[in-house]
């Protein structure tokens, strides 16, 4: 789905920011929340950085807290065609300066039921359009010379006032007076978790298909379809992931079984402890594997890493070290006189760690994060693979 807005999300408790293009799918939204790390009662703040095709929404829609509602609005706007977007812009202009997201959602729905005349940009052109196209039956049959003597500006003004319409740069917009709005949505503080780890969309010859991984019988059915069509005529057209660090290039029809195995392992990790999946993403960010097999093997090595979710910036690392060394009260005093950023950067280097989007990642063996991991311990005389 096409981007409508670019939004900056902020966790006000930790001063963490994430930039997101909306509408965003549930996989990307959940990943942004895992980067922001809000407490259960924290309301994530948003601010629009780029309005795309809807600059007239500034300053009506500038910032707020109900991001799920903003994302839903962007999704609805993305579904509008060119004529409907013209209608939406006209409805916003009619509504005035201060409009809540709920009201904008209603206008986006109403935009599908508006009368739009792209040829009319003023009263005169509106009047002429109506007269020439049979909307004013009392003018039917007028000789051309008499027709050209009509006051089209007066006709257009009467039409505009009667229909409650407005002119935009893309033409005249008039709402449908018989249209009734649907029930408003319920606001949500946090996004809903999507089903599965990966979601793929396919083009299988002339047919389209979707698959959420991990999967069992559904995977068998998609694979049977691929075999019937032939792998050369099959392609993955969209790839959504709970771990956006997994390249979309790895999601190919030939690698579905391996991708499903990775999805199963990540599901087990998340079921045991949701933070394990977050740690996995931090490790992928710090040390990207070169293959899908490498990403799969990494699921068995997460105990080699420690993720400090409280650290979002070098200053957080410095404050944490001071609290551990001298206690909360003395740390607060010292923080007033120290270059926390420089101290935090030095500590990260000393730890051999890396500050990822999900927190400070260090090795459990205190080795630098970029160093290869030691071999896994043998079990029962055989090395784990």
Residue at 332 is within a domain: yes
Stretch among 130-134, 165-169, 351-355 having the lowest mean pLDDT: 130-134
Question: Residue 311 has what pLDDT?
Answer: 93
| Per-residue three-class SS string for the chain | CCCCEEEEEEECCCCEEEEEEECCCHHHHHHHHHHHCCCCCCCCEEEEEECCCCHHHCCCCCEECCHHHHHHHHHHHHCCCHHHHHHHHHHHHHHCCCCCHHHHHHHHHHHHHEEEECCCCCHHHHHHHHHHCCCCHHHCCCCHHHHCCCCHHHHHHHHHHHHCCEEECCEEEEECCCCCCCCCCCCCCCCCCCCCCEEEEEEECCEEEEEEECCCHHHHHHHHHHHHHCHHHEEEEEEEECCCCCCHHHCCHHHHHHHHHHHHHHHHHHHHCHHHHHHHHHHHHHCCCCCHHHHHHHCCCHHHEEEECCCCCHHHHHHHHHHHHHCHHHHHHHHCCCCHHHHHHHHHHHHCCEEECCEEEEECCCCCCCCCCCCCCEECCEECC
CA 344 → CA 285, 318, 359, 363, distances in Å?
Answer: 20, 4, 13, 17
Distance of alpha carbon 281 from alpha carbon 286, whole angstroms: 9
Does residue 226 have a pLDDT over 50? yes
* Shared domain check, 256 and 221: yes
Does one domain contain both 206 and 258? Answer: yes
pLDDT tens digit string along 78-121? 999 999 999 999 999 888 777 888 889 999 999 998 999 999 99
Q: What is the pLDDT of residues 56-82, one digit of tens each?
A: 898 888 999 889 999 999 999 999 999
Are residues 61 and 27 part of one domain? yes
The span from the CA of 358 to the CA of 35, in Å, is: 5
Rounded to an integer, the average pLDDT of 319-327 is: 93
255 and 210 fall within a common domain:
yes
Is there a single domain that holds both residue 19 and residue 68?
yes
Using the structure block, give the residue that is written with the tokens 């400070």: 360
Are residues 11 and 64 both part of a single domain?
yes
Q: Which position has the higher pLDDT, 183 or 223?
A: 223
Q: Write down the pLDDT at residue 385.
A: 38
Residue 334 lies in a domain: yes
Domain count, the chain: 4
Ramachandran assignment for 18, one of left (phi > 0), alpha (psi -120 to 50 degrees), beta (any other)? beta
Q: Is 18 part of a structural domain of the chain? A: yes
The mean pLDDT of 142-169, rounded to a whole number, is: 88
In a domain, 144, yes or no: yes
Task: Determine the Cα–Cα distance for residues 330 and 324; give it in Å rounded to an integer.
Answer: 10
Provide the residue range defining the domain that includes 120: 113-175
Instruction: Please report where in the chains the tokens 């990260």 appear, as a residue.
Output: 348
Which among 60, 79, 98 is the end of a domain? 79
Give the angle subtended at the CA of 371 by the CAs of 366 and 376, to the nearest 5°. Answer: 80
Q: Is the pTM for the entire model greater than 0.75? A: yes
Name the β-bridge partners of 37.
Answer: none
R_g over Cα of the chain: 29
- When pLDDT is averaged across residues 343-358 and rounded to a whole number, the result is 94
> Is 355 inside any structural domain?
yes
Tokens of 226: 């691929």
- In tens, the pLDDT along 175-200 reads 887 776 665 555 555 667 788 999 99
For residue 80, which of 45, 42, 52, 38 has the smallest C-alpha distance?
Answer: 52
Whether residues 311 and 361 share a domain: the answer is yes
Does residue 90 lie within any of the structural domains?
no
Residue 384 has pLDDT above 50, yes or no: no
Query: What average pLDDT is seen over the chain?
Result: 89
Please report which confidence band the pLDDT of residue 141 belongs to, taking 50, 70 and 90 as the band edges: confident
Most confident of 133-142, 146-155, 329-338: 329-338
The domain spanning residue 160 has which CATH number? 1.10.10
């Amino acid at each position: 789905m096409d981007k409508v807005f670019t939004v900056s999300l902020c966790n006000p408790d930790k001063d963490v920011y994430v930039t997101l293009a909306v509408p965003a799918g549930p996989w990307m939204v959940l990943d942004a929340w895992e980067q922001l790390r809000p407490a259960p009662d924290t309301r994530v703040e948003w601010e629009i950085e780029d309005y795309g095709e809807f600059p007239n929404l500034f300053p009506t829609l500038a910032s707020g807290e109900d991001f799920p509602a903003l994302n839903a609005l962007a999704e609805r706007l993305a579904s509008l065609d060119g004529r409907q977007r013209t209608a939406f812009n006209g409805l916003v202009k009619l509504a005035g300066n201060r409009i809540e997201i709920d009201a904008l959602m209603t206008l986006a729905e109403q935009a599908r039921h508006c009368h739009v005349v792209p040829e009319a940009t003023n009263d005169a052109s509106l009047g002429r359009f109506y007269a020439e196209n049979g909307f004013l039956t009392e003018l039917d049959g007028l000789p051309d010379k008499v027709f050209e003597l009509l006051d089209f500006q007066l006709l257009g003004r009467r039409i505009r006032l009667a229909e409650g319409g407005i002119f935009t740069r893309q033409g005249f917009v008039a709402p449908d007076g018989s249209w009734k709005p649907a029930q408003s949505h319920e606001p949500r503080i946090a996004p809903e978790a999507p089903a599965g780890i990966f979601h793929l969309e396919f083009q299988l010859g002339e047919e389209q298909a979707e698959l959420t991984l991990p999967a069992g019988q559904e995977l068998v059915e998609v694979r049977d379809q691929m075999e019937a069509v032939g792998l050369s005529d099959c392609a993955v057209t969209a790839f959504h992931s709970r771990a956006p660090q997994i390249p979309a290039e790895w999601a190919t029809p030939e690698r579905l079984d391996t991708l499903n195995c990775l999805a199963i392992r990540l599901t087990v990790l998340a079921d045991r402890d949701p933070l394990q999946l977050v740690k996995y993403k931090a490790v992928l960010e710090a040390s990207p594997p070169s293959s899908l097999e490498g990403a799969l093997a990494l699921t068995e090595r997460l105990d080699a890493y420690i993720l400090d979710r409280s650290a979002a910036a070098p200053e957080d690392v410095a404050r944490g070290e001071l609290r551990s060394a001298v206690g909360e009260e003395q740390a607060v005093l010292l923080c007033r006189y120290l270059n926390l950023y420089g101290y935090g950067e030095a500590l990260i280097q000393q730890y051999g760690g890396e500050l990822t989007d999900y927190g400070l990642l260090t090795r459990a063996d205190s080795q630098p994060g970029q160093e290869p991991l030691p071999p896994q311990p043998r079990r029962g005389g055989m090395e784990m693979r």
